[in-house]
Amino acid sequence: FSEMHPLSVGSVSEVMNGAALEYMRESDVLFGIGTSFTIQGMVTPYPAGKTLIHATNDPVDLHKDYIAGHPLLGDARLVLRQMIEACEELLSTRERETPDTAARISALRSAWYGEWESKLTSSESPITPYRVLGEFTASVDPSDAIVTHDSGSPRMQIMPFYRSNGPRSYLGWGKSHGLGTGLGLIMGAKLAKPDKFCVNFMGDAAFGMTGLDFETAVRSNIPICTVVLNNDDMAVEVPHMELSNNRFGSRALYGRYSDMARAMGGWSERIDDPADVGPALMRARRATEEGQSALLEFATSSEQAKSNLRAFS
């Protein structure tokens, strides 16, 4: 389902945009399709008092963490076809209210976006990761791209803002948080869809886990674009590692990964000027179009702002 569709409120993990927040809060019914409805740290808990319709192909999921008023056991495609047929029959015999839902979603999203615009266009230095994301969404058509992110800060920052355009254009992580996995995922995406601009966003901690596999992309002629948001810090752990960091510097990370990427045979740049973020993204894209594996390293801040983090916890 395209997030560019006027009736899409966007994706939800432990963070969400303003339209998703309001509709999660106000809705009477939540219809989960192909989901486990699991209570877990990477998933926003659902507000109480909702009627749950739970469609899954695994009986273990049913009533595991939430009691579903209407459990549906079956393949998602078959269940959806049956639901469409049932709704068509119901709508043929009753009047349907037609509120201007699309306009309201657009208004909610615009109001929320306005609250974040200063971050998305910020000229602060070090660069806020939101400036990188703002430039990326402004310059890259989601129809031409496949995007994924690593866990931690990149997931929390990208999830509410990036709007993918249909199936297989965004590789979501669900409840997973194996640092560095995005590098392998985006190589697979590029092999599957060589005409797409395939981009993975990762932090410096994630690159430290798997970054040498960038050489695999170079050696195998897989022209991906890896964006490293390098703040020399495990920023997502700021609230959790205060004592250990003060005593032992346990969050501190060091490395200049653009130099490493170049040494491995790839195209790379390190960017510390906010005004050069957009042009750098376009240079990296051109490099991939010329068959080079590209890495962009942005010198970023340890950004702590997050959109509606665990709003219903």
> Which of 100-109, 228-237, 286-295, 298-307 shows the lowest mean pLDDT across its residues?
228-237
Q: Tell me if 298 sits within 8 A of 228, measured CB to CB.
A: yes
The verdict on residue 313 lying in a domain is no
Q: Tell me if 180 sits within 8 A of 210, measured CB to CB.
A: yes
236, 262: one domain: yes
CATH code of the domain covering residue 270: 3.40.50.970
80, 171: one domain: no
- pLDDT for the residue numbered 100: 92
- pLDDT for the residue numbered 174: 82
In tens, the pLDDT along 152-193 reads 899 999 999 999 998 999 998 888 888 899 999 999 999 999
Omega before 126 cis (within 30°)?
yes
Model confidence at 253, pLDDT cuts 50, 70, 90, reads confident
Question: How many domains does the structure of the chain reveal?
Answer: 2
Residue finishing a domain among 68, 103, 138: 103
Q: Which amino acid is at 254?
A: Y
Domain boundaries, position 84: 18-103
The verdict on residue 309 lying in a domain is no
Residue finishing a domain among 74, 103, 132: 103
Question: Packing angle between helix 129-139 and helix 101-120, nearest 10 degrees?
Answer: 130
265, 284: one domain: yes
- pLDDT averaged over every residue in the chain: 94
What SS3 state is found at 259? Answer: helix
Cα separation values, 122 from 119, 132, 134, 141, Å: 5, 10, 9, 22
String of b and e for 26-53 (b: at least 16 CB within 10 Å)?
eeeebebeeebbeeeebbbebeeeeebb
In tens, the pLDDT along 5-41 reads 999 999 998 999 999 999 999 999 999 999 999 998 8
pLDDT greater at residue 143 or residue 239: 143
The verdict on residue 12 lying in a domain is no
159, 218: one domain: yes
Q: Please determine, for residue 84, whether its predicted confidence score (pLDDT) is greater than 90.
A: yes
Closest CA to 188 of 206, 213, 208: 213
Cα separation values, 83 from 41, 56, 76, 87, 286, Å: 31, 14, 10, 6, 45
82, 123: one domain: no
Q: Please determine, for residue 96, whether its predicted confidence score (pLDDT) is greater than 80.
A: no
- pLDDT for the residue numbered 79: 96
CATH code of the domain covering residue 49: 3.40.50.1220
Mean pLDDT computed over 114-138: 98
204, 275: one domain: yes
The answer to whether the predicted template modeling score (pTM) of the entire model surpasses 0.75 is yes
Q: Tell me if 99 sits within 8 A of 81, measured CB to CB.
A: no
Within a 10 A sphere around the Cβ of 12, how many other Cβ atoms?
19
- What is the C-alpha to C-alpha distance for residues 227 and 9, in angstroms, rounded to an integer? 26
Residue finishing a domain among 46, 68, 103: 103
87, 170: one domain: no
Is the backbone of residue 44 left (phi > 0), alpha (psi -120 to 50) or beta?
Answer: beta
Closest CA to 296 of 135, 159, 168: 135
- pLDDT for the residue numbered 151: 87
In tens, the pLDDT along 255-272 reads 899 999 999 999 999 999
164, 197: one domain: yes
pLDDT greater at residue 217 or residue 205: 217
Q: Tell me if 193 sits within 8 A of 167, measured CB to CB.
A: no
Q: Tell me if 298 sits within 8 A of 277, measured CB to CB.
A: yes
Q: Tell me if 147 sits within 8 A of 162, measured CB to CB.
A: yes
The verdict on residue 10 lying in a domain is no
The verdict on residue 81 lying in a domain is yes
